[in-house]
Structure 1
Amino acid sequence: STPAAVIVAATTPQERIVVATLATIAEEAAAAGLTSPALIVVGGIVAMRAALAGEP
């Protein structure tokens, strides 16, 4: 149940983010076609993504 995110092309118009649990993040990232280089974030901070981005 630990949240995880994979971020590709961070801070660019091509940025892509997949959020899932640590148990499923590899499968979800592969299904989304994400490739390296990528940033992987694990833990509670992932759940704060919407608040940090100013999203409703």
Structure 2
Amino acid sequence: AETGELDQMLMKVADFYEDEVEQSVKALTSIMEPFMIIILGGMVGSILVSMYLPIFSVMDYLG
């Protein structure tokens, strides 16, 4: 390889690894998305249960 080609080779290597990282990040986010939705749904559900449970217990006490 000639001396002037070093920067071109380094740019090609950088582009290759940039694409590799981009593909890995896309795969990881597509895997993690459903788990995050399930976790957030569980959090919202537990908040709703903790809000409505005292209301129902008061209604049972009164009724």
TM-score band w.r.t. shorter chain: under 0.3
> When the two structures are superposed, what TM-score results if normalisation uses the length of structure 1?
0.25
More strand by share: 1
More helix by share: 2
> When the two structures are superposed, what TM-score results if normalisation uses the length of structure 2?
0.23
> In terms of Rg, which structure is larger?
2
